[in-house]
Chains A and B, each alone.
Chain A
Amino acid sequence: MIADTIHLTFLLPENAGNVSGTMFSGVAEVMMVVKVKVFADLRQYIPELGLGESLAVQVESGVTIRQLFEQLEIPESEIKLAFVNGISREFEDILSDGDEVSFFSPVGGG
């Protein structure tokens, strides 16, 4: 759990500077923050968000878009499109720190 993470950079000199990790797992996890917006029918999954607002979400480095919406408990069957920094991406694509991700249910118009 993120809340249980202990910063141990002074004990892990080879990883000093950019790693925080649990002392006992022996596995270093890099955390990143991505900003998430949800639209149309998906708004019900993050109800506290105002229109057009984004939610800052802490995720593991190397997380995919799929892992992100699973973490947010948005059902995959309801997501039609995921935009990352304005580009439509596949759910297997990997996210980077600071990415802005927007999820849409199926929409159409004229």
Chain B
Amino acid sequence: MWILRINVSDLSYKLEDVPEKYRLLYGRGLTSQIVFDEVPPLCHALGPNNKLIFSTGVVTGTIAPSSARVSVGGKSPLTGGIKEANAGTSWGPDLAKLRIRALIVEGEPKDKKSYAGAVIKWDGEKPAVEFFDATEYTGKDVYEVCPQIFDRFGKKVSIATTGVAGEMGYANSGVAFNDRYGRPSRYAGRGGLGAVMASKRMKFIVLDAKGAPGVEIPNKDLFEEGRKKLVDAIRSHPISQPKGGLNTYGTMVLVNILNEAGGLPTRNFSAGRFEGAAKTSGEALFETNKERMGKEVYNHGCSPTCIIHCSNTLYKPDQTEATSCIEYESAWSLGANLGVDNLDDIGTMNQLCNEYGLDTIETGVTLGVAMEAGVIEFGDSKGAIQLIHEMGKGTPLGRTLSGGTGATGKIYGVTRVPAVKGQGMPAYEPRAVKGIGITYATTTMGADHTAGYTICPEILGVSGKVDPLSPEGKAALSRAFQATTAFIDSSGHCLFIAFPILDIATGFEGMIQECNAMLGTDWDADAIVAYGAEVLKVERAFNEAAGLTKEDDRVPEFMKIEPLPPHNQVFDIPDEALDSVYGEL
């Protein structure tokens, strides 16, 4: 196994042995460690000293269930701190099969006008890289150029790319990967890593794993035992099982429950309930498809090995595909957050974001601030579509809206700016769900929900049940979720295995056994939480050196002052409690 470095200064590459200190680091654990070790914390995120790092998890490339994840890391142009974003895609297992433990894109392109693409293949003994001129593919829709790459390099390759949003240096641009059907729709979306990729003038990284040796499993019996337990847990839990909550309704099933709970941020976080929510829900999409297609449409998997299959497709009245997939976050950011209840317009906006290379969360939250500022009215979905076009075309207004939520708030003099460390808040209101507010404030990633998904016990009744409106015990809860998640982000598993494994102990054991089988370790539950905590400490140290202080671990002032209907609470977690999350890590 190797670390593969691509130097864009001269389009060269080298393979290095994996240092002993990285032996147990994978996925987010490895990308964050390499960022800490090699990226000067005060560098310009789009400058020559930032690096873009890809790494897959411990079990990626095996037949472990729902394990085709890749982590992408670097310094974020949006938050100014460390970033890890991950995606489900065949690109992950392909990298692992090529025996590449981390791919590091570094250096400074001499010629800022041209873009390169890299194709990584197995040469019989090791990975080999060929470069091609990708300039002709720039300035275009990602859905237009990716089929051309499949035509050029083969239908079975995997593709990582950045869209025009990245090319224009947008802080809200993501890195896009292919799904199982060739759509470039799986985004490592948050934090502007698309712009980092473009700053290296790297337009595509294509993986051709044909003939690659694959991943070795040192302890096959233990692996199989763990894998079976995890599969059983996934297949028996009502959220993750076939025809279960996620397979039937996708993540959009959360719209109604957050709305009922009074925690669905509406019209730029001015209320926790939206009267049009039901029309933008997973149930609405299921029924719309049923009407249009004449049958019940169940969801599909984004990547190989997935057995949860939560990805939806929205069909148009003429039965052609409108977009795939619409996550809860996107249905919310482009829906309730904008006062929009038109599912088709949400689908259009989702597709445009995918085509231009934009993070749907950051785009939607920014548009909410723009509506607050009066650029267009709340509810004006056609106006929102036009603004996304302006972002994609790089008009002055479009560029103004593409520096991220915090930046847009500043430009327009708005106080209701739902962001932490400049990054827009996802689809859960901190004043109605206080634990997630603590995660937003304190995670190293900026306002991020997956980083410490306390929604499980606070709303969903998974891993116990706690009162979302109570501040009691929430700092510890967020800390525990953040550390466990940092491990799952390193394991290679999709975070959605958390639903079954937090309720079914044998599933949790199975995940740990798989990892022990791969690494020769003897971990238990405490050990994996400790692993996650170490990853967080590394990220935190980077952030501190990058100039982030505890004052950046706060929710915006308006949330401490304005009670949020319907429960009419403010965010009343004291600063000391926020500081204790990492203070007592």
Q: Which residues of A are interface residues toward B (Cβ below 8 A)?
A: 37, 39-41, 43, 51-52, 80-81, 83, 86-88, 102, 104-110
Q: Which of A80, A83, A106, A110 contacts B260 (CB 8 A)?
A: A83
Query: Contacts of A87 on B, CB cut-off 8 Å?
Result: 469
Using Cβ atoms and an 8 Å threshold, which residues of chain A touch B250? Answer: 109
Q: Which of A51, A106, A110 contacts B279 (CB 8 A)?
A: A51
- The answer to whether B257 touches A104 (Cβ under 8 A) is yes
Q: How far is the CB of B240 from chain A (nearest CB, A)?
A: 7
Report B453 CB to chain A, min CB distance, Å.
7
- What is the CA–CA distance of A81 and B277 in the complex, to the nearest angstrom? 19
Q: Which of B248, B256, B281, B327 has the most CB of A within 10 A?
A: B256
The docked-state distance in angstroms from the alpha carbon of A86 to that of B469 is: 11
Contacts of B278 in A (CB 8 A): 51-52
Q: Does B450 contact A (CB under 8 A)?
A: yes
Cβ of B460: which chain A residues have Cβ within 8 Å of it?
80-81, 106-108
Contacts A52-B277, A86-B566 given; does A107 touch B284 at CB 8 Å: no
* Contacting residues, chain A, for B273 (C-beta < 8 A): 86
Q: State A52–B287 Cα separation when bound (angstroms).
A: 13
CB distance from B262 to the nearest CB of A (A): 4
From A41, A108, A110, residue with most partner B Cβ within 10 Å: A108
- Closest chain-B Cβ to A54's Cβ sits at a distance in Å of 11
A50, chain B: closest CB distance, angstroms: 8
**B41 close to chain A: CB less than 8 A:** no
Whole-angstrom CA separation of A95 from B467 in the bound complex = 19
Are B262 and A110 in touch, CB under 8 angstroms? no
In the bound complex, residues from chain B placing their C-beta under 8 Å from that of A51 are: 278-279, 281, 283-284, 287
Q: Is the CB of B465 within 8 A of A88?
A: yes
Q: Can you give 6 A-B contacts (C-beta < 8 A)?
A: A37-B260, A80-B238, A81-B460, A88-B468, A108-B499, A109-B250
Query: Is A108 a contact of B277 with CB atoms below 8 Å?
Result: no
The distance in angstroms between the C-alpha atoms of A8 and B562, with both chains bound, is 50
**Nearest-CB distance from B186 to chain A (Å)?**
13
Q: Which residues of A contact B249 (CB under 8 A)?
A: 40, 107
How many residues of B are counted as interface, with CB atoms below 8 angstroms from the partner's CB atoms? 49
Residues of chain A contacted by B496 (CB below 8 angstroms): 108, 110
Residues of A within 8 A of B245 (CB): 40-41, 105-108
Q: B244 near A: Cβ within 8 Å?
A: yes
Contacts A40-B282, A88-B465 given; indicate if A110 touches B251 (C-beta within 8 A). yes
In the bound complex, residues from chain B placing their C-beta under 8 Å from that of A81 are: 257, 460-461
- Contacting residues, chain A, for B469 (C-beta < 8 A): 87
Nearest 4 pairs of A and B residues by beta carbon: A52-B278, A109-B251, A106-B238, A108-B239
Which of chain B's residues has its CB closest to A90's CB? B465
Q: Which B212-268 residues have C-beta < 8 A from chain A?
A: 237-240, 244-246, 248-254, 256-257, 260-262
B208 CB within 8 Å of chain A: no
B329 at interface, CB cutoff 8 A = yes
Please tell me which one of the listed residues B246, B256, B329 contacts residue A52 in the complex, with CB atoms under 8 A apart.
Answer: B256
Q: Does residue B570 face the partner (Cβ distance < 8 Å to A)?
A: no
- Check: B328 CB closer than 8 A to any chain A CB: yes
Residue of A39, A80, A110 near B328 (CB, 8 A) is A110
Q: How far is the CA of A41 from the CA of B252 in the complex (A)?
A: 14
In the complex, per-residue mask of B459-472: 1 if CB is within 8 Å of any chain A CB, else 0: 11110010111000
In the complex, given contacts A51-B287, A52-B281, A109-B254, what are 6 additional A-B residue pairs having Cβ atoms less than 8 angstroms apart?
A40-B248, A40-B256, A51-B279, A51-B281, A88-B461, A107-B245
Cβ contact of B248, chosen from A37, A41, A102, A104, cutoff 8 A: A41
Q: How far is the CB of B434 from chain A (nearest CB, A)?
A: 14
Residue among A41, A86, A88, A110 having the largest count of chain B Cβ atoms under 10 Å: A110
Q: Which residues of the other chain, B, contact A107 by a CB distance below 8 angstroms?
A: 239, 245, 249, 253-254, 257, 460
Q: Is B75 close to A, CB under 8 A? A: no
- A110: chain B residues at CB < 8 Å are 251, 327-329, 449-450, 453, 495-496
Q: Does B5 contact A (CB under 8 A)?
A: no
Contact status B260-A102, CB under 8 Å: yes
Interfacial residues of chain B within 465-522, with CB under 8 A of chain A in the complex? 465, 467-469, 495-496, 499
Chain A residues with CB under 8 A of B252: 109
- B416 in the interface, Cβ–Cβ < 8 Å? no
The answer for the CA separation of A81 and B456 in the assembled complex, in Å, is: 12
Question: Are B283 and A86 within 8 A (Cβ)?
Answer: no
CA distance A110 to B87 in the complex (A): 13
Q: Give A80's nearest chain B residue, CB to CB.
A: B461
Contact B262 A86 (CB under 8 A): yes
Compute how far the CA of A108 lies from the CA of B459 in the bound complex, rounded to whole angstroms: 9
Set of chain A residues within 8 Å of B261, measured between Cβ atoms: 83, 86, 88
Chain B residues closer than 8 Å to A102, beta-carbon distance: 256, 260
Q: Which residue of B lies closest to A86 (CB)?
A: B262
Q: Which residue of A lies closest to B256 (CB)?
A: A39
Bound-state Cα–Cα, A43 to B286, Å: 12
| B560 is an interface residue with CB less than 8 A from chain A | no
**Chain B, Cβ-Cβ closest to A81:** B461
- Does B567 reach chain A (CB closer than 8 Å)? yes
Shortest beta-carbon distance from B521 to chain A in Å: 28
Interfacial chain A residues near B257, Cβ < 8 Å: 39, 81, 83, 104, 107
Closest chain A residue, CB of each to CB of B240: A108
- A83: B residues at CB distance < 8 A: 257, 260-261
Max chain A CB contacts within 10 Å: which of B237, B260, B283, B329?
B260
* Chain A residues positioned under 8 Å from B238 (CB to CB): 80, 105-106
Q: In the complex, how many angstroms separate the beta carbon of B32 from the nearest chain A beta carbon?
A: 20
